[in-house]
Amino acid sequence: AAPTWSPDGKTLAVTLSRKDGDVVVYTLNLSSQVLTRMTFDPGIDTEPSWSSDGKKLYFMSDRAGGPQIYEVDVSDPKRPTRVSFEGNYNARPRVSPDGKQLAVVHLDRGNYRIAVIDIASKGLQVLSEGRQDESPSFAPNGAVLIYATQEKGRGVLATVSTDGRTAERFTNTSGEVREPVWAPFPQR
């Protein structure tokens, strides 16, 4: 589950369920087909996201008793570091293009909202104001997040600037919005 490409496109980070029921993050080298285990805790480890340089993976784990974000160096995966500390629910990490922030789904006063975590300081800032906001994705320039939310019981698209100053919802006349993601700028 939750596959994600490395920045160079040569490796996938994936979540696999082992025979013993443990849910673990692995990397899969596409040319050699070698799986390498990245997480070693008996808790649920899922939703991997690569750092912009491909040297780290960020993932959600319940090893502390509730969903929190951790990072692991791909070259030394047995030494994970906790990244999120505010609140008791932080999930779905997505790395900003400059590698300085993580967008997450954060439980804020009973509502699931979009927040950003400064990777260096570990500080968290809630950006959205919905009740069921999910699936954050950074714009290629890192200035805006796109995400799915609910309006009148329907899934709609929303954006918020990474400083929280500008927000917009886009209503649609049919269908439901789920799992939005920005397309990358073309490589030159």
Q: What is the pLDDT of residue 157?
A: 93
Q: What is the pTM of this model?
A: 0.91
DSSP E strand stretches across the chain: 4-5, 11-17, 23-29, 35-37, 45-50, 56-61, 68-73, 76-82, 90-95, 101-108, 111-118, 124-126, 134-138, 144-151, 154-161, 167-170
Q: What pLDDT, on the 0 to 100 scale, is given for residue 34?
A: 96
Q: Is the pLDDT of residue 185 over 80?
A: no
pLDDT digits (tens, 9 = 90+) for 100-137: 999 999 999 999 999 999 999 999 999 999 999 999 99
pLDDT in tens, 57-72: 999 999 999 999 999 9
**What does the chain come to in residues?**
188
**C-alpha closest to that of 104 among 88, 121, 124, 80:** 124
pLDDT tens digits, one per residue of 79-109: 999 999 999 999 999 999 999 999 999 999 9
